[in-house]
Amino acid sequence: MSSWSALALPQWSQGELKKLENGDLVPGASLLVESEEARPLLVPSDEDAGEFTQRPLIELPSSPQEIPAKYLVKYFQSSSTNYLVDPQRLLTMQETQDREGFLNFHAKASDIDIRLYLFDTQQVIPTSHSLERLVAERYNDSPLTCVVFSFMGDPSRTMLAFGGEGAEQVTMLEQRRILDHARIKSLKSSDASSQIEAFVVQLSIRLYWLEKSFKGAELTAVSALTSQHPSSISGRTLSAVGFHASRKPFLLYFLVGVSGALIAVTALVWMWVLWRKNRTYQFPVVESPRRLGADYGAGVGAVLGFKDSVGSPSSQRDQVPDDFLCS
C-alpha cells in the first residue's frame, strides 16, 4: 500500500506551461471562485502507481468586446443632459433611478458635477473615442465636471478625468487619490450595481473636500493680494483668483448682508420710537414779580406759556387771553 507522504508532486504539462507563458492561465485564480467544479483538484490517475494528476486551471474570461457602433454614437456624439449615461441599459430601471437620483442630489449640493458613463465588463473604448477626447470636446466650456468611465463588475478598470472651468488646477496626483479611494470602497462589494453605488458615494465625498480646499486656497490668495496691493486690486483680478468664481457663496453673502442691514435699521427705528414714547420734560420755575407787595394784581390775570424756541416768530408773540379781552 502506497504512502501519502511518498506521492510525487503534480507536474505542469507542456500545454499548461505554454498557456502560462502566454498569460492564458492564472495560478490561484480558481481559489476566488466558489463553484466546486471550478476548483483544481488532485485526482488519482493510477492508484497502484500512487501518481496524481491536476485538473486544468480556470482560464481567463473571453477576449475584450467591442462596443456596437449604435451605442458609440449615443456615448460620444449625442448631447445628453443626464448625469448617468447608460445607453446599453446595463442597470435595471430601479437601479437607474437610484443612481440618477443620487447624481442629481450631488449636482445641487456641489459645484463639481459628476458624469457617469457605464460600459460592460469586457468592453473596450476605441482610441478614437477616448476619455480625454470626450472631456476636451464635450466639457471644455462647462463648469468643473468629473467624468467617469465605469465598467460593470470590474472597478479596477474605472477611469476618471476633470474637464471644464478650473480643471487645470486638479493635479494628476489629486486625481489618482480620488480614484483610488473610490475604487477601494467599491471593491468591498461583489455586486456590480452596489460597486457603482459605493464608488459614486465615495467620489462625491472626495469632490466635496476638493471643493473645500479650492475655496480655502482662493480666500488665501485674495487675502495675500489684498495685503500686498490693497489699492490696485480690481474686481476682475479678484474674480480671476481660484478655480471657479462660485455664484452660490456670493449670493449667500449678499443675502446675509441685506438681512443684516434690515435688522439694524429695524432695531434703530424701534429704539427711536421707545425713546420718543418714554422721554420726560422738566419745566423751569418762573418767579412772578410782586405788585405793591401783593401776591397778585387786582383784576388782572397772567398766563405763562412754554413754546418751542425754534418756532416761527409769529408763533412766539405774546398772546392775550380770551377772558381778558371780554372783560
Q: What is the pLDDT of residues 241-277, one digit of tens each?
A: 454 555 556 677 778 888 888 898 888 888 888 887 7
- The residues spanned by each domain of the chain are 4-54, 65-216
d(CA 125, CA 66): 8
Which of 197, 126, 114 is CA-nearest to residue 155? Answer: 197
pLDDT of amino acid 47 = 45
d(CA 234, CA 254): 19
Q: Is the pLDDT of residue 46 over 60?
A: no
Mean pLDDT over the full length of the chain: 75
Domain boundaries 65-216, CATH class: alpha beta
d(CA 191, CA 186): 9
Q: What is the pLDDT of residues 262-315, one digit of tens each?
A: 898 888 888 888 887 777 767 777 666 666 566 666 655 556 666 666 666 666
pLDDT of amino acid 2 = 47
Q: Is the pLDDT of residue 200 over 90?
A: yes
Q: What is the pLDDT of residues 81-93, one digit of tens each?
A: 899 999 999 999 9
Angle at 223 between CA 218 and CA 224, to 5 degrees: 100
